Chain A
């Protein structure tokens, strides 16, 4: 890799230092640094396909960080694949971090293990402290503490990717389930001449987000893993999904909300058309507000929970318990709430035991509505995986097919960007490969 070295060890500066005049030294040093930076920049712009490394020491950094020169310095530094600031003071470390943060408006990460890194750790968006030989100061002022430097790649590539995916999935799913719920209520309102009569019993409404649909979302946020840890490390390009904000784009959010809309429409219209106005059971009884409300709510809970099971690609014991247990809990709740005296349970009094459980149409309608509401998403998913697979989708397929050790597929998937780039992890590893090859 080509190196651009900026230092003040030139003979002219040394002579001036012997003489001892501070102003002259400063002026000459500044000019020298400026010249070296400009030369470096010229080198770098001339050949844009090679990777460069910038090495600057603390003395030169002092001048490079002056207000009139720092923009130039930043441009040079950003164009290089690797920048090394050696012998810099803690304040300079923090200033460099601040310069990069403000100049690029990107998320910066700082890692350090000693007390001299504290300023830098606090300045960066994410500060990672390494606990160990140099004491605990870095750890105490950091956002995340790790034990050894080598754990950084696992932190970023595995946990970073998982965290990003979990948070974006959780938020999208949250919008979806509330959209479904709210829209069924809205559609019912349209049939009550908008008099604000909700479709469900009061306690059903209140407990929807708190009890019936809360645990699966929490389990999603804690446990979801789309790609195993081994694969995250093996295919580091997966991390780009987070960098480029693929999983939380507007398109995805609106897509989930639209899914909620469709589910709500399907639930509402299928339930009302199948159960009204004729009798719904053998005894000629009519499905009035209580029966219809409880049926719609049951369908809603099933749809929302099964959608979760469909959307995540990873179901461990805890998630199974949360999802299926949540649905089972709903039935228990109906029984318990319905058994309470009518003063408390108002419209839900014995609705399950007397009305719903014994009516085959309830079960038939629930089964139908749940499956029908999930078909659009399932279809979309099947088509997307076939024609527009995402990167993590491809990795899942590779894992499933057991082709993770097949060099041809690995090379295909590890293929970097088609455009040539000179910075970052890609350039570093390209440079590394070149060195090995030569």
Chain B
């Protein structure tokens, strides 16, 4: 399972390579990446950077104390670490999340970090202090005895209560609890296993912790790869399951296929693709304005016309 947070696209490849290299070495026992080298220095550097540079209003955060609270899990059996073991760590590092800036996601690592622009546009979990310090990292104690295991660490397939998964579960729960205003969710409609994993961090550790009294509405963006397969769109398959779940919980929600600003970002990489080109016929033709729950679309025509229609109403 790929590391949580906003890991870049090449991380799974790196993990695969490291796993294969590790398999050559003696004694690999877990399925996941070993403890990140220089974990403490990276952790402290990120904490200092976040609280001094990025969000100077958090300058009173005590990064040493936050590290001390975090590292208690490094003394525990790597299959006995619970989300609650991170309670003190969360207590010391938590901070408010600006309204309307929460961005939840599944299967959209790089896109989310690109689009959120280091807290300037949005603040996904990896742009929150307690998400930033652990992003891309891996950690666990050795099975037998003290000291960190740099060869491998357990994944959820090895055991449920492993340090990294429990961290992200705890962080996700907090992030959800502290989110308010409009909640945004970015899903990948080209993901073969479905855009909304019914078992996953978002489904199990974020949605259940949404605070109904703090949330105005939920907006879902189902993004598709440029020229890629349209596996699911709004109102279909697992997205429909998500929509029904949110409705049952009493949330007002909407769904947009290929939300335009994010689509434009995807087009940077595919600037000559037809999906990123002007369709002059569509520009001049009046089409039916879609309902709030947009229909499937593999092109930009519908969002473009919605924008036009909204623009003309102003």
Report whether chain A binds chain B.
no
Residues of A within 8 A of B (CB): none
Residues of B within 8 A of A (CB): none
